[in-house]
Amino acid sequence: MRYCPRCGEENSDDAEFCKSCGADMTRPIRYTKPRDAGWGAARAVALVIGALLVFTSLGLIVGGGSLRMVQSNIVDGEGYIMSGVERLTSDSHAIVFEDIDIHIDADAGPIRDWLKDLMTVKITATSNAPGKNVFIGIADYGSAYSYLGDVSYDRLVGTDWKYDPWGGGFPDYTYSRHGGGAPAGPPTVHSFWTAFETGSSSETLTWGVETGRYWVVVMNEDASPGLDVDLEVGARVPILKDLGDVLLTVGVLVGLVGAAVIYYGALKR
């Protein structure tokens, strides 16, 4: 028995026309493969590209969220990421962070002028010695060495700050003694300091970073030997929040594009 391709009526095997609708039973029936049957190369490529975009967006979102978390939850009230408090003692005339070298290539253009706005350093020192005022100063290498080159002081060397936002540890360091005598007068009588603070209580020095080679010096205000101070250091980088916002926004947009590529290029076909 044969069935009519138009109406489905049952006909004899040798029928040339359908007895019900008259359709030609001698013409071959052609079948067309559905367009969405199987996975072609184009759909596979769309799926791979979309997946890459989605995974990239996840990385951007995680990075941006981490920066926003640091800026919002870990910084202090003034926006600084601070270390823990470290008690430093020395029987010399000063404690020094030597050779802080901040360098930007001359062809960096406006970045050199923006550096102060990009990063600010904060140092807080509190004297534990009764009756002795504390002094914190930053000076260029040449001026600082001219003042302290023949003076006994302790250098903090091998510093390595592996910051733990929940522990707030101070940078690792070791002392290295530089031999000498007493300095030529108290530090406050000299005008070469790039920035300094002094006083009897907890003193905080903030400094907009500039290119150059610098020393950070902690002394008694009267330049007498014997130091006992609590020190805390940190930095403020305002661009972190803006960078975090950019990464989050770009991450969301890239994720949406990736999802659209997967849906329209691979699934909805």
> 62-115 pLDDT, tens per residue?
888 887 776 666 677 777 777 778 889 999 999 998 777 766 555 555 555 555
**How many beta carbons lie within 10 A of that of residue 159, not counting itself?**
15
What percent of the chain is modeled with pLDDT above 70? 78
Position 63 scores a pLDDT of: 84
Between residues 145 and 35, the one the model is more confident about: 145
Tokens 């947009």 locate to 253
Instruction: Spell out the residues 6+ positions from residue 22 whose beta carbon is closer than 8 angstroms to its own.
Output: none
SS3 (DSSP) at 63:
helix
Sign, CA dihedral 209-214-220-226, equals positive
Paired with 60 in beta bridges are none
Give the pLDDT confidence score for residue 150 in this predicted structure. 93
| Contact between residue 235 and residue 80 where contact means Cβ atoms under 8 Å apart | yes
Question: Per mean pLDDT, which of 113-122, 197-206, 258-267 is the most reliable?
Answer: 197-206
Do 98 and 217 form a contact (C-beta atoms < 8 A)? no
- Determine how many CB atoms are found less than 10 A away from the CB of residue 55: 12
| pLDDT for position 245 | 82
Tell me, what's the pLDDT at 153? 94
List, for residues 146-170, the tens digit of each pLDDT value.
Answer: 999 999 999 987 655 555 554 556 6
The dihedral through the CA atoms of 218, 219, 225, 230 has a sign that is negative
pTM (2 d.p.)? 0.61
